[in-house]
Structure 1
Amino acid sequence: MTNLTSRVIHRAMSGILATTLLGVVLLQPAANACTRILWNNNKLAVVVGRTMDWPESTQPILTVFPRGMKRDGGLLASEVVVKENPARWTSKYGSVVTTAYGVGTVDGLNEKGLGVHLLYLKATDFGPRDVSKAGLQAGLWGQYLLDNAATVKEALELMQKIQPVMVTYQGIKATLHLSIEDASGDSAIIEYVNGKPQVHHGREFLVMTNDPPYEEQLALLKKWELDFANATRQTMLPGNVDPSHRFVRATYFERFLPEPKNQQEAIAGILAIARNVSVPFGAPNNAPGTLYNTEYRTAIDLTNKRYFFELSTSPNVVWLDLAQFNLNPGAPVMVLNPDNIALSGNVTTKFQKALKAPF
């Protein structure tokens, strides 16, 4: 290929990119950034990673819940936010989660190998309150599924019985969408748009970012028409921090992950992509206050029930083995603050009894 031809192709691709992104900017509101990536076709383990991007510390606490926890889905901290027919339940399964502000679960794994991840979606609209369904403040949406479902199929069945309810905490609206996966590699993306649930269920749904809604993200992805079979280091990819850029980039690189020889390689592979789609500190944004740097990354081995956590301001990855915790009813809730530069590697034995369960 001549240099002239290369320049012509580069200009054409740049024009396509500019046109696509202009459409996204004009038609969609800017959104906070988060990314989830699932790797379910290697021979070793089902693993998943995510980034959490936010303008301040979400005060993440690694928390291990035993079975038998009594929950009230109508409470936001101590405030009653769902007055009619609030969801109330007792947990069937133990779990490890990352909490946000002490009022909800944004990421986690249960003892059966179900993983959940709540990400920001500005387009979220849970619709008017349907009191025929048990109401669940949105910050406990993921925890409800971890507590009660062993598989994606079971989680989707449970979703027929409840309705997430929009809440606001410290001035922040819970405009969230949810991705779930299980140890078999099954996956689902759940969004509420225009008051209606939209579910994408299947092993092929590997990546989720933010706005626009998932159906539109898939349409944008098709416009790239990437030749995965003949990809090279010169294959054109969108490289910025916009959600649609990250969606394409994560999808592309997930396809090329090499078969891992051990768990270390599997987790390293998924974290490599999570780091690639992370938002650097101070990344430029055309609408200030709507896109933020990556606060932390998580990775989960759903097959072996291990949970990994990497704070962006710490040089160390920490991890825990859920099977090593006492998850019997009546066992204490165990917690660990990951914002400690002295923590590194296996921190299973570093957890302490919580003075009080966060919810």
Structure 2
Amino acid sequence: MCTRILWNTNDRAVLTGRTMDWPESTEPVLTVFPRGLRRDGGMLKGTSVVGENPLRWTSGLGSIVTTVYGAGTADGLNEAGLGAHMLYLDGTDLGPRDPGRPGLQIGLWIQFLLDGARTVTEALELLDTCQLVPVELHGFPATVHIALEDASGDSAIVEYLAGERRVHHDRGHTIMTNAPAYDEQLRLLRKEVRTLRELGHVKPGSEVPLPGNVNAVDRFQRAAYFSSLLPEPADDRQAVAGILAVTRNASVPFGAPYREGRFRTYNTEYRTVCDLTNKRYFFELSTSPNLVWAEIDRFDLSPGAPVMTLSPEGTDLVGDVSDRFTRAPAPF
């Protein structure tokens, strides 16, 4: 079900942490895409899924991402410092297909934005150039919304509800989970804050009662509370540690599997951190004891360079793994 947390108020770096909560392995692969790749937005594992008029483009920016099921991009950042994150939203409704508009299968939504936009504003402008088309990934409908942020700290949440796009564009939109829709999440957060103040909890403190469950509303409010308490980091290491601490707090531990009418959420499969200032991408698999990261500036992103990949499954991976990536088999 997932949680995204943006930290854009410290003096060291703009950082985003996210959890990937899912009922099975999404087969995550860390992938580096160079510039100059020709893309077909209608393809899903070699099959056209949008019908006529698929969106086609050539990547203008390199990126480092986490792919899922070998069919789409769930998370990542590009060389300009734009981050993008795909999270589940059960109420997603893209509306009827208009063949007069170029179609983009939704699993490639954020990869399209990372390929062509340097800022949140540019990414939002790209949304008008195509129409999203629903697909299933591994038997699951890809009903999702996305979060965007850039190195300036700007932020946006994009959802499609009742066939209409809703955009929340402001650097204050730092927390995101799942259902209900973002407007309702903000209303519930304001209600919780008012309740706490009525009970005499004017300032954050150890005595403040916090929602402690694993549902999306509780995770949203808990992430908002702890991210507001993050101290100014002394260095980049402390900055990453801070955002990771909040991201881990919002994770769903093993033993809380999806059950209709019970938890309605999934265990956390992995966590990532995007350092948009220093162009570092951190990855932490829940079943691995180690945190790994890669620096996008260490890769050849020029047109014609190979796509590079790394499976995060190896327990021998630790620290900077930029030199552990290998060339992906062609065609990618």
Query: Normalised by the shorter chain, which TM-score bucket?
Result: over 0.9
Query: Who wins on radius of gyration, i.e. which is larger?
Result: 1
Out of 105, 111, 132, the residue aligned to residue 79 of structure 2 is 111
Out of 143, 150, 172, the residue aligned to residue 182 of structure 1 is 150
Amino acid at match of 1:163: Q
Amino acid at match of 2:203: N
TM-score by length of 1: 0.89
For 1:48 and 1:116, locate their aligned partners in 2 and report how far apart those are by CA, in whole Å. Answer: 10
Aligned to 1:24: none
| Alignment gaps of 5+ in structure 2 | none
Aligned to 2:281: 307
For 2:301 and 2:127, locate their aligned partners in 1 and report how far apart those are by CA, in whole Å. Answer: 25
Do structure 1's residue 69 and structure 2's residue 41 form an aligned pair? no
Out of 230, 236, 239, the residue aligned to residue 257 of structure 1 is 230
Whether the aligned pair in 1 keeps the contact of 2:257 and 2:266 (CA below 8 Å) is: no
Deviation at 1:284, TM superposition (A): 6.2
1:218-237 alignment, distance < 5 Å: 218-225=186-193, 226=196, 230-237=203-210
Aligned to 1:4: none
Q: What's the RMSD between the two structures over aligned residues?
A: 1.3
CA deviations on 1:7-54 (whole Å, 9 max, x unpaired) are xxxxxxxxxxxxxxxxxxxxxxxxxx2000000010111000000011
Q: Secondary structure at the match of 1:37?
A: strand
Amino acid at match of 1:241: V
1:129-148 alignment, distance < 5 Å: 129-148=97-116
Do structure 1's residue 282 and structure 2's residue 255 form an aligned pair? yes
Aligned to 1:34: 2
For 2:204 and 2:264, locate their aligned partners in 1 and report how far apart those are by CA, in whole Å. Answer: 33
CA deviations on 1:319-352 (whole Å, 9 max, x unpaired) are 0110010000000110000001000000010110
Whether the aligned pair in 2 keeps the contact of 1:152 and 1:186 (CA below 8 Å) is: yes
Aligned to 1:335: 309
Aligned to 1:19: none
For 1:236 and 1:48, locate their aligned partners in 2 and report how far apart those are by CA, in whole Å. Answer: 25
Whether the aligned pair in 2 keeps the contact of 1:112 and 1:150 (CA below 8 Å) is: yes
Aligned to 1:293: 267
For 2:183 and 2:12, locate their aligned partners in 1 and report how far apart those are by CA, in whole Å. Answer: 31
Aligned to 2:245: 272
Whether the aligned pair in 2 keeps the contact of 1:333 and 1:357 (CA below 8 Å) is: no
Identity of paired residues, percent? 59
Whether the aligned pair in 1 keeps the contact of 2:101 and 2:131 (CA below 8 Å) is: yes
Out of 292, 311, 320, the residue aligned to residue 318 of structure 1 is 292
For 1:172 and 1:357, locate their aligned partners in 2 and report how far apart those are by CA, in whole Å. Answer: 26
Do structure 1's residue 195 and structure 2's residue 163 form an aligned pair? yes
For 2:134 and 2:263, locate their aligned partners in 1 and report how far apart those are by CA, in whole Å. Answer: 21
Amino acid at match of 1:204: G
Aligned to 2:127: 159
Query: Structure 1 residues 229 and 325 mapped into 2: Cα distance closer, same or farther (>3 Å)?
Result: farther
Do structure 1's residue 345 and structure 2's residue 319 form an aligned pair? yes
CA deviations on 1:145-195 (whole Å, 9 max, x unpaired) are 000000000000111111111011332111010000000000000000011
For 1:68 and 1:334, locate their aligned partners in 2 and report how far apart those are by CA, in whole Å. Answer: 14
Out of 53, 57, 60, the residue aligned to residue 25 of structure 2 is 57
Q: Secondary structure at the match of 1:283?
A: coil
Deviation at 1:357, TM superposition (A): 5.1
For 2:44 and 2:257, locate their aligned partners in 1 and report how far apart those are by CA, in whole Å. Answer: 34
Aligned to 1:13: none
TM-score by length of 2: 0.96
Moved more, 349-358 or 135-144: 349-358
Q: Secondary structure at the match of 1:230?
A: coil
